[in-house]
Amino acid sequence: MAKIIVIGAVAGGATVASQIRRLDPDSDITVYEKDRDMSFANCGLPYYLGEVVEDRDMMLSATPDQFKEKKHITVKTYHEAIELNDSKKTITIKNHETGEIFEDAYDKLILSPGCRARHLGFQSDRVFTLRNLVDTDKIEDFIQKENVQSALIVGAGYVSLEILENLYNRNIETTLIHRSDHINKSMDRDLNKVIFDELEKRNIPYRLNEEIADISGREVTFKSGKTESYDLVITGVGIEPNSDWLKSSSLKLNEKGYIPVNEYFETNLDDVYALGDVIETFYRHTKKPTSVTLAWGAHRAAALIAENITSNSSSPKATFKGLLGTNIVKMFDYALGSVGVSESELSNYDYDVVEQTQKQHAGYYPSAEPLTLRVYFDKVTRKILRACAVGKDGADKRIDIIATAIIGDLTVDELRDIEIAYAPPFSSPKDIVNMIGYKAQSK
């Protein structure tokens, strides 16, 4: 009977433990989680703050008691891993409730410690980050107790944009600042214009190339010299991997502190795996290294790790074919999605681009709205490198189609051959995806 230790109990850790138990009824599985909660809906937290999701219990997928009762898995919250001794195959754990420090031995170790939010360093009880359910509860309690009427959102990644939209919809006056002029970096810069249009349509103030210089009470002083008052400040200025505690071990980290893994999610250490936000993996279609902090990869990794750990040693290993980084964000009336390498990574390729804007379904059918699809492809192989879609309706469908096309190893030209489900409420006889393929032929 193997002793399996999992570090981290959110998407990656909780899922891999559950998948192992599904395949292996006998192994001793212990999960250590440094925070209060396990297995919560990270991506839903802004929508709970916006009161779109009204029931807080919907944010919790499982509890330690449920894992123990239903799966015979021990989950210990408030237990932080502080050291890995790979030669002894032990993990040192600190119990934050009692202060006790102890060692636990493993046969197999799975690392899913995630990432933490970067902090601006200002000491203020009005400044918050949103990374977990504890953060969410603190923000919600503060909004209720302080009768929050105004909020400053710092940073313009997809989480910050979701928080801004949800607080605005909660009738909290919101302001957005960002330290550069490049917001929502998953999207092409020019296609982000609809975000600014949506902000201006609602008279939501925003300033680019702006940063906070000081915070005193409700008064926020900016590097531009402006001073403004806010009841609440929420910062989303990036994340850092929770890997500092691993630096004393022989585990390999990259220059940013992420854990490189191979196609089996194995690290450089025997019997040590890693998954989730903390890893460096690779793109499926280019094989170049990348770190993608999105939920799909964590869940796919969990299934593969569990399959390989529990399979017969003579069986071929299940391999991971890579990520595409498929993502989408809602910003009021618009959706903005992308797939493939980032805009900044395109310079590594000899590429061309084709773009089409047309209505998401038949133009004569009610609620027809413009949809833009842009596809980048390798000039020689014609393989798709990246795509972006933006519109009020249908962007998600087209990005999903392009993601599937990449997985199917289709060229940009072959997009013309994809048979889209057509009826006037859903698409056009020549869908925007097909039109990209036809246009690509001329290039």
Whole-number Å distance between alpha carbons of 370 and 360: 6
Question: Which of 391, 325, 342, 370 is closest to 191 using CA atoms?
Answer: 391
Return d(Cα 351, Cα 380) in angstroms, integer.
Answer: 8
How confident is the model at residue 1, as a pLDDT?
A: 81
Name the stretches of the chain with pLDDT < 50. Answer: none
Two tokens, residue 98:
């009692």
Is the CB of residue 416 less than 8 Å from the CB of residue 438?
A: yes
Tell me, what's the pLDDT at 277?
96
Q: Tell me if 443 sits within 8 A of 352, measured CB to CB.
A: yes
Query: What is the model's pLDDT at position 102?
Result: 98
Dihedrals φ, ψ of 417, to 5°?
Answer: -90, -5
Residue 306: the pLDDT is 97
pLDDT of residue 193: 97
pLDDT score at 315: 80
Active-site option among 43, 52, 58, 101: 43
Helices (H), 311-423: 395-407
Return all residues near 20 (Cβ < 8 A) that are at least 6 apart. Answer: 4, 27, 29, 305, 306, 309, 310
Instruction: Verify whether residue 43 is a known catalytic residue.
Output: yes
Beta carbons of 377 and 385 less than 8 angstroms apart: yes
pLDDT of residue 443: 84
Nearest-angstrom CA–CA distance, 339 and 323: 10
